[in-house]
Structure 1
Amino acid sequence: MDFQTSVKTCLTQKYATFSGRGSRSEFWWFMLAYFIGMLVVSLVPLLPTLYVIALFVPVLAAGFRRMQDTGRPGWYFVIPSIYNLLMRIFGVGQVEMNPETGMPMEMPSTGGMMVSALLGLIGLVLAIVFIYWLTRPSEPEPNAYGAPPQA
């Protein structure tokens, strides 16, 4: 599947299709288009938020289909996002900055820094595992999620 076909498939034909399987090329070409689009819209305030909201469903659907193509449940695709959200909500060791100097008001504790480092390491391991899963070849035979996708 080429770049244009992938984008067209993910944005029109399979916008909110969470069932079935998605090929490696479909997923990665669509992700490339998504990131290029994000770079373009990041030049205008408020547009990145609208862009993410508009493409939330197709990105999630493409990720679901790709995970299912490798034989894993599609909902696994949301695990890194949930982890990232929890890290942002319950962030440990966040430092308050002085608006005048741009310097920290006080240094975080050693314990807070250790917890932050550990949680960051967990996030790194999660990212590596998911990139590995998402780059695996399609299962050549039908699996629990359907027939192999047409490349």
Structure 2
Amino acid sequence: MDFQTSVKTCLTEKYMDFSGRASRSEFWWFMLAYIIGALVVSLFPLLPLIYALGMFLPLLAVGFRRMHDTGRPGWYFLIPSIYNLLVRIFGFGRYELDPQTGMPLEAPSVGGAILGAILGIVGLVIAIIFIWWLTRPSEPDANEYGAPPAA
């Protein structure tokens, strides 16, 4: 699947389709298009929010289908986002910045620094696992999510 076909498929034909499978090329070409679009709209105020809201469902859908293509449940695609949200909510502490210099007013405690390092390492491991999964070849035969996608 080429760049244009991938973008067309994800934005028109399978905008909210969480069933079936997506090939590596469909997923990665769409991710490239998403990133390029995000860079372009970041130059204008309010557009990044509108862009993120408009692209949320197709990005999530192609991620689910890509996970299906590797034989994994689609909801696994949510694990990095859920982890990031939990770390932000229950993180290792907050600190106040000096308004003039932008530097923290106090250093984190040793325990907070260790917890932050552990959470960072866990996040890195999750990212590596997901990049590995998303770059694996399609299962060659039909699986519980359907027939292999057309290349």
Query: Shorter chain as normaliser: what TM range?
Result: over 0.9
Alignment-mate amino acid for residue 43 of structure 1: L
Q: 2:131 aligns to what?
A: 131
How far residue 94 of structure 1 moved from its aligned partner, in angstroms, is 3.2
Which residue identity does 1:142 align to in structure 2? A
1:90 Cα deviation from its structure 2 partner:
1.8
1:114 aligned residue: 114
2:66 is matched with 66
Question: Residue 96 of structure 1 aligns with which residue?
Answer: 96
- Counterpart CA distance in 2 for 1:90 and 1:42 is 29
**Residue pair 1:20, 1:145 contacting (<8 A) in 2 also:** yes
The residue number in structure 1 matching 2:44 is 44
Between the two proteins, the alignment pairs up a number of residues equal to: 151
Question: Partner of 1:53 in structure 2?
Answer: 53
1:95 CA drift (Å): 2.4
| Structure 1 outlier segments of 4+, above 3 Å | none
CA RMSD, Structure 1 to Structure 2 (Å) = 0.8
The CA deviation string for residues 57-88 of structure 1, in whole angstroms up to 9 with x for no partner, is: 00000000000000000000000011111112
Percent identity over paired residues: 72
**Aligned partner letter, 2:18:** F
Choose 122-131 or 89-98, whichever is displaced more: 89-98
Structure 1: gaps of 5 or more residues: none
**Matched residues in 2 for 1:126 and 1:28: separation?**
19
Which residue in the other structure is 1:4 paired with?
Answer: 4
TM-score relative to the length of structure 2:
0.98
Aligned to 1:80: 80
**CA deviation after TM superposition for structure 1 residue 49, in Å:** 1.3
List runs of 5+ in structure 2 lacking aligned partners. none
Shift of 1:139: 0.4
Q: Distance in 2 between matches of 1:102 and 1:7?
A: 41
